Amino acid sequence: MAVNQRVFQQQRLWQLDADTVHHATAHLADRERPHDPQLVVGIQRGGWHVATAVAALLDVPAVPILARHNDTDTVGLPATGRVRIDATTDPPALAPGRVLIVDDICGSGATLRTVSALLSGLWKPALLRTAVLCRNAGAAYEPDSWIWDVADWVCFPWEPDPGRPTEPLALPVGVNRR
């Protein structure tokens, strides 16, 4: 399988603040509500923040899964296509029928693809959907729901200050969907 390349136009460094993320998670929850997820799986680290907010709005439990694509949060780091999943992540006691996997960004799509395949094999859910805040323009993988298409690096409120000027992403006006 070829590695999808994230696109970085090098024109800006996007910044999401907590209020904008709050609005975006509400849009994602509204979009996913008709699919009636029974469990939200949050990809740690960044996706866990989004997943817990979406799960709370949907009034369903959330569980984390630790999956790493990059070794660091260095701005502009190229995609490797290799995803490591922490084997100590505890699955829920009962495999749910409808699962929503949530992450902060779909860069190349490798993390969502790998976690989706793992959970499909382990749980065999009746429905497995994916949702993210941002989708990089270079990602061949298309989540079921996402807010922003981006072609530059995004800094999230739970990450360290990048130490250089950023531009805010606008408040969401809707949800993109597959």
Contacting residues for 96 by C-beta, under 8 A, at least 6 apart: 37, 38, 39, 123, 125
Higher pLDDT, 137 or 82: 137
In this structure, is residue 22 part of a structural domain?
yes
**For position 75, what pLDDT does the model report?**
55
**For position 3, what pLDDT does the model report?**
45
Its domain, for residue 51, covers 14-68+82-177
In this structure, is residue 5 part of a structural domain?
no
In this structure, is residue 73 part of a structural domain?
no
**For position 171, what pLDDT does the model report?**
94
Q: What rounded mean pLDDT belongs to the chain?
A: 87
In this structure, is residue 161 part of a structural domain?
yes
In this structure, is residue 74 part of a structural domain?
no
- Report which secondary-structure segment, H or E, holds 32: helix 18-32
Rounded Cα–Cα distance for residues 170 and 39 (Å): 29
Q: Is the pLDDT of residue 2 over 50?
A: no
Lookup: tokens for 129:
């959907």
Among 85, 79, 7, residue whose Cα is nearest residue 44: 85
HSE (CB half, 13 Å, CA atoms) of 30?
12
- Please state at what angle helix 46-58 crosses helix 18-32, rounded to 10 degrees: 50
In this structure, is residue 46 part of a structural domain?
yes
Rounded Cα–Cα distance for residues 45 and 57 (Å): 20
Rounded Cα–Cα distance for residues 152 and 176 (Å): 18
CA 148 → CA 22, 70, 84, 119, 139, distances in Å? 14, 21, 26, 25, 13
Q: Residue range 97-122: average pLDDT?
A: 93
Q: Residue range 66-88: average pLDDT?
A: 64
**For position 126, what pLDDT does the model report?**
93
**Count of structural domains within the chain:** 1
In this structure, is residue 50 part of a structural domain?
yes
Q: Residue range 10-36: average pLDDT?
A: 95
Q: Give the CATH number for residue 99.
A: 3.40.50.2020
In this structure, is residue 114 part of a structural domain?
yes
Q: Is the pLDDT of residue 89 over 70?
A: no
